[in-house]
């Protein structure tokens, strides 16, 4: 979780970014170019399956039913692992994406206030000590030391402000609808930005489309394994197993091979493979795991080819974008629901800016196109998380306004509002620092040093 809080007053609206574990439900979800099954692993005796997702975002045109897609484990902060920051360019790209999202969110608050003539005193990216700043039109623009988000400050309760406390253009003196617009504008800005990012990829890069072929690819054969001993090679395409032809459907073809291997420890399994354009018959005898299931020591992946498809016209571009956008939004909402309903088991998936940058760098290194989805997911997560009715989030401020509306326009005492917001600010700030430390210690090169 990346926490954005304002260290000043309750009228400084801040942002919170969290990247949740997402299960592919939409056409824009992250499917792997190689979805490996390691039959030599016994860490998950119930299935011995290990899916790794890093790149490629297939379109629904492939024809894979949604009911099957949910079987994939998708890219989430915790699932990517933390790679060593090997490429400075990749890290810079990830930082740029994160910074742009923060700037867009805070710009939404700022523009909603500015266009209504509401006084604004600060616009900051980051928190803590100021690294650089300039002033324009009575607004201080600053870049700060801690990359926990950003904030827009209002002079409502600033004792150093020379603006009269009863000025109608102070945010606190504006009607409820004006304030709701300012507070919710950050969320709206991120939602619009996410839509535009998806639209840009579809128009300028094209939509990755996976075309499925019969069989299952063998990307890797482990040395000294049953597969290596009996003649399977990396790059082979398994066309049938024990005379069972393998269909194009993902992930059923991989599952069929896995099931046959697991059910036949120490028994010969007949593989028909394609190697270099020629069909070959190979018998492999799986070794036996401790749980009694079979293993042969290979990785298996669906036999697919990734193509880029661009829309034929503007209407099709908007149609593609709409489907991808709503599918991705539903995916994020489902992930949030799972996190809230099972927080004790999913709390470790909550990640901070270090983890987000680590994941973004890995995405950029493996596939620059993946940055589009990375940015879209962050925008939607930021928008949805900020709507939660928690102190220090936009949703918390909206909840206070709702209480005011229910009370017939009577605000809660200022001390009560400040107490609620301050407690929330303190909590999310401490959580943010904790996540930065935890995620930093999880980086590979830090582990190596320790």
Per-residue pLDDT tens over the stretch 75-126? 333 333 444 444 677 778 778 888 889 899 999 999 999 999 999 999 999 8
| From 106, 324, 362, 417, active-site residue | 106
Mean pLDDT of the region 389-414: 86
Mean pLDDT of the region 127-149: 87
Mean pLDDT of the region 190-203: 94
**Residue 106 appears among annotated catalytic residues:** yes
Question: Rounded to whole angstroms, how far apart are CA atoms 411 and 403?
Answer: 8
- Tokens for 296, please give them: 């042969």
pLDDT in tens, 22-31: 333 333 333 3
The contacts of residue 307 (CB under 8 Å, 6+ apart) are 208, 209, 210, 211
Residue with tokens 């709503």: 326
pTM exceeds cut of 0.85: no
pLDDT in tens, 201-253: 999 888 877 788 888 999 889 999 999 999 999 999 999 999 888 877 666 78
Q: Which band of pLDDT confidence, cut at 50, 70 and 90, is reported for residue 54?
A: very low
Q: What is the pLDDT of residue 390?
A: 81
């Amino acid at each position: 979780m990346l926490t954005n809080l304002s260290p000043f007053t309750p009228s400084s609206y801040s942002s919170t970014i969290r990247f949740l574990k997402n299960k592919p439900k939409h056409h824009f979800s992250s499917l792997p170019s190689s979805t490996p099954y390691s039959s030599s692993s016994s860490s998950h005796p119930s299935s011995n399956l290990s899916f790794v997702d890093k790149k490629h975002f297939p379109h629904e045109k492939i024809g894979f039913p949604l009911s099957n897609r949910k079987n994939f484990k998708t890219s989430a902060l915790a699932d990517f692992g933390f790679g060593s920051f090997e490429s400075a360019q990749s890290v810079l790209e990830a930082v740029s994406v994160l910074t742009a999202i923060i700037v867009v969110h805070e710009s939404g608050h700022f523009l909603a206030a500015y266009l209504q003539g509401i006084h604004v005193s600060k616009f900051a990216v980051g928190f803590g000590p100021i690294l650089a700043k300039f002033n324009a039109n009575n607004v201080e623009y600053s870049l700060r030391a801690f990359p926990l988000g950003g904030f827009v400050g209002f002079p409502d309760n600033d004792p150093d402000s020379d603006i009269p406390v009863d000025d109608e253009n102070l945010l606190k003196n504006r009607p409820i609808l004006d304030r709701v617009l300012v507070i919710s504008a950050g969320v709206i800005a991120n939602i619009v930005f996410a839509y535009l990012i998806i639209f840009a990829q579809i128009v300028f890069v094209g939509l990755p489309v996976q075309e499925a072929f019969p069989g299952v690819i063998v990307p890797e054969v482990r040395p000294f394994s049953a597969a290596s001993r009996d003649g399977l090679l990396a790059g082979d395409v398994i066309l049938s197993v024990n005379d069972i032809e393998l269909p194009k459907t993902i992930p059923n073809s991989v599952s069929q091979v896995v099931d046959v291997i697991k059910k036949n420890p120490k028994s010969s399994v007949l593989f028909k493979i394609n190697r270099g354009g020629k069909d070959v018959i190979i018998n492999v005898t799986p070794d036996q795991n401790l749980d009694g299931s079979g293993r042969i020591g290979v990785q298996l992946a669906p036999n697919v080819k990734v193509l880029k498809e661009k829309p034929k016209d503007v209407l099709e571009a908007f149609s593609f974008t709409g489907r991808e956008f709503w599918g991705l939004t539903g995916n994020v909402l489902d992930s949030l629901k799972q996190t809230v309903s099972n927080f004790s088991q999913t709390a470790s998936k909550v990640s901070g800016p270090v983890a987000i940058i680590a994941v973004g760098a890995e995405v950029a290194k493996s596939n620059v196109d993946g940055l589009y989805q990375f940015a879209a997911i962050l925008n939607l997560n930021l928008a949805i998380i900020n709507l939660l009715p928690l102190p220090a989030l936009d949703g918390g401020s909206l909840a206070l306004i709702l209480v005011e509306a229910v009370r017939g326009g009577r605000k809660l005492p200022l001390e009560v509002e400040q107490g609620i917001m301050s407690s929330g600010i303190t909590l999310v700030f401490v959580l943010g620092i904790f996540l930065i430390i935890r995620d930093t210690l999880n980086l590979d090169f830090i582990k190596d040093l320790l």
